[in-house]
Amino acid sequence: MKIGIYGYGNLGRGVELGIRQNPDMELFGVFTRRNPETVHTLTGAKVYAADRAADYAGEIDVMIICGGSASDLPEMTPMLARHFNVIDSFDTHARIPEHFANVDEAAFRTGHTALISAGWDPGLFSLARLYMNAVLPDGKDYTFWGRGVSQGHSDAVRRIPGVKDARQYTVPVPEALAQVRAGENPELTTRQKHTRECYVVAEDGADKALIEKQIKEMPNYFADYDTTVTFITEEEMKRDHQGLPHGGQVIRCGNTGADNGHRHVMEFSLKLDSNPEFTASVLIACARAVGRMHGRGIFGCKTLFDLAPADLSPLSGEELRAHLL
């Protein structure tokens, strides 16, 4: 199966590295909007100009689109679905129905197979929510994120005047997690579920008290949370905050029985050293399923909800039943 990578940032690099772990896959190359001659890939993969991608339509089985959800993917995925089988990690939850419809139209009309919103949330966490809801209809579920770096929140802090660099960690509140795991089905406010930790490098002479106030009062991003702001040096930022770890858990507690007296707690959790590399690993497994569905004449837009799990694996049905069932 020949894979193309469209967009070469952290996620694209993760896909490039991850493909080496899957012997049934081959990397055709990377498509970039930059000048291809200026882009040097980690593994020596070939680099092509993004605006010439359609020229290679016959040579690529699945194109993994590694653009940003805010502005790139809403344009890119429908556009590329006219020429390729495609996968993206679109993660703006509120706009998924609209994105799905656009991609479905483009893919179906041209006989391609598309998968949107793959990754871990949306993605594996969505699957966990679906399986858990189907099995325990009488219950309640919770999603916690972190401890991990939120790129969006880090960017928001960096836009404050006087901030040179910043890193924001989302952290679940341990007491809330413990209550949920104990099956107490608590009502939790936004503030009770997560805290936010900001590590900030200030410009020389910046008003640190003002920066801290601006962060803590920023609507949508921080105002609804207990936020801590720690000023650090550039050296500390480089030494302690270069990684992109993340993770979290989906937990559902539900009841069964004659008097609903039996309680069951289901939990799916992730602890990731590298958010982009793990997301890339999910996209690669999904590429396998998309290629197989296309081979069966299943066209249009899908999500992980529509994929038979067996299609994600390189093993045959017999092997899966014998070794993993």
160 counts as binding its own copies under rule CB under 8 A: no
> Per the structure block, which two tokens stand in for 71?
């502005």
In the complex, the smallest distance separating the C-beta of residue 261 from its own copies, rounded to whole angstroms, is 8
Nearer to its own copies, 47 or 163 (CB): 47
100 counts as binding its own copies under rule CB under 8 A: yes
Please report the beta strands in the chain, taking only residues with DSSP state E, as ranges in sequence order: 2-6, 26-32, 47-49, 62-65, 86-87, 113-115, 139-145, 148-149, 163-172, 194-202, 226-231, 246-256, 262-272, 300-302
Q: Give the separation between CA 44 and CA 29, rounded to whole angstroms.
A: 9
Stretch that binds its own copies, among 68-76, 149-157, 194-202, 269-277 (CB under 8 A): 269-277
Nearer to its own copies, 112 or 129 (CB): 129
Place of tokens 């081959």: 26
Q: Give the separation between CA 142 and CA 249, rounded to whole angstroms.
A: 8
For 36, counting Cβ atoms within 10 Å of its Cβ (0-12 exposed, 13-18 middle, 19+ buried), the class is middle
Question: Which listed residue (2, 17, 41, 191) binds its own copies by CB under 8 A?
Answer: 17
Question: Which listed residue (176, 229, 270, 290) binds its own copies by CB under 8 A?
Answer: 270
Nearer to its own copies, 1 or 272 (CB): 272
> Per the structure block, which two tokens stand in for 173?
């509140």
DSSP 72-114: THHHHHHHHHTTS-EE-----GGGHHHHHHHHHHHHHHTT-EE
> Per the structure block, which two tokens stand in for 242?
């270069």
DSSP designation for 311: G
Question: Which listed residue (35, 220, 258, 297) binds its own copies by CB under 8 A?
Answer: 258
93 counts as binding its own copies under rule CB under 8 A: yes
Stretch that binds its own copies, among 121-129, 186-194, 205-213, 233-241 (CB under 8 A): 121-129
237 counts as binding its own copies under rule CB under 8 A: no
Q: Give the separation between CA 189 and CA 173, rounded to whole angstroms.
A: 11
> Per the structure block, which two tokens stand in for 67?
């653009």
Q: Which of residues 168-227 bind its own copies (CB under 8 A)?
A: 183
Q: Give the separation between CA 205 and CA 202, rounded to whole angstroms.
A: 8
137 counts as binding its own copies under rule CB under 8 A: yes
264 counts as binding its own copies under rule CB under 8 A: yes
Nearer to its own copies, 123 or 227 (CB): 123
Residues 6 or more apart from 68 whose CB is under 8 A from it? none
Stretch that binds its own copies, among 59-67, 106-114, 225-233, 263-271 (CB under 8 A): 263-271
77 counts as binding its own copies under rule CB under 8 A: no
Question: Which listed residue (117, 150, 154, 195) binds its own copies by CB under 8 A?
Answer: 117
140 counts as binding its own copies under rule CB under 8 A: no
Q: Give contact residues for its own copies (rule: CB under 8 A).
A: 14, 17-18, 21-22, 42, 93, 96-97, 100, 117, 122, 124, 126-131, 133-138, 183, 256-258, 261-274, 277-278, 280-282, 285, 288, 303-310, 312-314, 317-318, 320-322, 324-325
